[in-house]
Amino acid sequence: DGKRKEFPLQKNDIVYLDTKGTANLPEKLSESQALKIVSDEGIEWKDSVKFVGVRSQTLFEIIDFKEKCDCEITITSVTDGTHATGTESHSTGYKIDLRSKDKTIGEEKKLYEYIKNNFVEIKERTESDGTKSKQWKNKGGAIYALEYEGKDNEHWDVLVGSKTKNVYNFVTSKFDNERDEKV
């Protein structure tokens, strides 16, 4: 806003000059950076979830999705847990799992209906245990797969691959607009 502000800093302290802390974020986030972002956006997560190493682009896809879907989001896994390995996997920060449990009621239904009505259904994929997962792709190229449909461990596996359209500029411009409106 052009005004001078002073911040008492100690070694390794970070101060972001935007209100949401999204300027100059690294490609991969630390645990604290990711937690601040999801917390600021009102996104819930299970206690056991680890965010360290998640890609900024992956997290911003979920923020953009939440905004467009206008539904509650609960993250159930990011870089934690036992997942398949690969170049674009959970462990490399390209995937996030979202709660589903019962896609016929409440927020889970709203999430399912949004995906089904706004994304393009693509070929099912086969999981390592042989089960089939329905998949949908959004306009940006992110793939939302409904894993273990109808089972206790049903959830959305979201892949924000290297060829996915970058939503970072959209999300950060949204934050800039919010900041401008507050000034």
User: When comparing pLDDT for 29 and 169, which is higher?
Assistant: 29
User: When comparing pLDDT for 16 and 25, which is higher?
Assistant: 25
| 132-137 and 155-159 strand pairing | unpaired
pLDDT exceeds 90 at position 175: no
pLDDT exceeds 80 at position 11: no
- Using pLDDT thresholds of 50, 70 and 90, give the confidence band for residue 150: confident
E-only strand ranges, 32-118? 44-45, 74-77, 95-99
Percentage of the chain beyond pLDDT 90 is: 45
Give helix 106-118 / helix 56-69 axis angle, nearest 10°. Answer: 100
> Residue 45 forms beta bridges with which residues?
75
How many CB atoms within 10 Å of residue 63? 24
pLDDT exceeds 50 at position 4: yes
Give the model confidence (pLDDT) of 47-106 as tens digits.
999 999 999 999 999 999 999 998 888 999 998 866 666 677 888 889 999 987 666 666
How many CB atoms within 10 Å of residue 171? 23
**Token duo for residue 140:** 């940006």
72 near 40, Cβ under 8 Å? no
Rg (the chain; Cα; Å): 17
147 near 158, Cβ under 8 Å? no
Give the model confidence (pLDDT) of 102-121 as tens digits.
666 667 788 999 999 999 99
Mean pLDDT of 22-49: 86
